[in-house]
Structure 1
């Protein structure tokens, strides 16, 4: 079981219905859903500095220690993460704080919750 979160930049407030549409389109592979921002790229670097990404070169031991159940997704517009359920509180709280520090929106699709910076 996993816990998903999405992060992107919005210049103004966004409601949960609009956030879901953007999240859903992004998960479906659409581009141009949100405006790309250097903040998103910087956040992506922050995430990978804090938690090693899963790659084909990841050792079995590293994979077991990783909070991810799949690789961190970054397309220039957003970052999508899939956190192991057992690590959701620890990692989600840290990522939300990092996102707020970068002025990004966090979308929690499990609860339909938007957390603004």
Structure 2
């Protein structure tokens, strides 16, 4: 079982309900079916930054990576990445992922709770 986040390019939705609709639309368009698109430049840079903090699970010889699937880049298509992390590291990794998304002007959405991830400034 994993803890899942979605991160995408757009203005921050006004509320959780709107964010849920946007996530579902993006998921249907970019991840639910073939063919998937390569990640956008901004999402690719976001993934690179995540992997600078923790290695990809496919390269994790010391079992320190929080990611539940890999390669992490395969979880992205176009302006969206939908990725999981192990429950044992979810608190730390999701907080980092949400803060990193916010710092890059990306939206971070908690899929389990169907809500926007709060950030320090909001």
TM-score in terms of structure 1 length: 0.76
Indicate the residue corresponding to 2:21 in structure 1: 18
Checking the alignment, whether the CA contact within 8 Å between 1:8 and 1:79 is kept in structure 2 is yes
Corresponding residue of 2:67: 68
Shift of 1:82: 0.8
1:28 correspondence with 2:27 = no
Q: Aligned pairs, how many?
A: 110
Instruction: Decide whether aligned partners of structure 1 residues 94 and 78 sit closer, same or farther in structure 2, where only a CA change above 3 A counts.
Output: same
Give 2:89's aligned residue: 87
Residue 23 to residue 83, structure 1, CA distance change in 2 (3 Å): farther
Match of 1:51 in 2: 54
For the Cα contact (< 8 Å) 1:6–1:23, is it kept in 2? no
What residue ranges of structure 1 are gaps of 5+ in the alignment? none
Structure 2 unaligned spans of 5+: none
Matched residue SS, 1:65: coil
Aligned equivalents of 2:68 and 2:46: distance in 1? 19
**Please, what TM-score do these two structures have when normalized by structure 2?**
0.74
Please report the RMSD computed on the Cα atoms of aligned residues, expressed in angstroms. Answer: 2.5
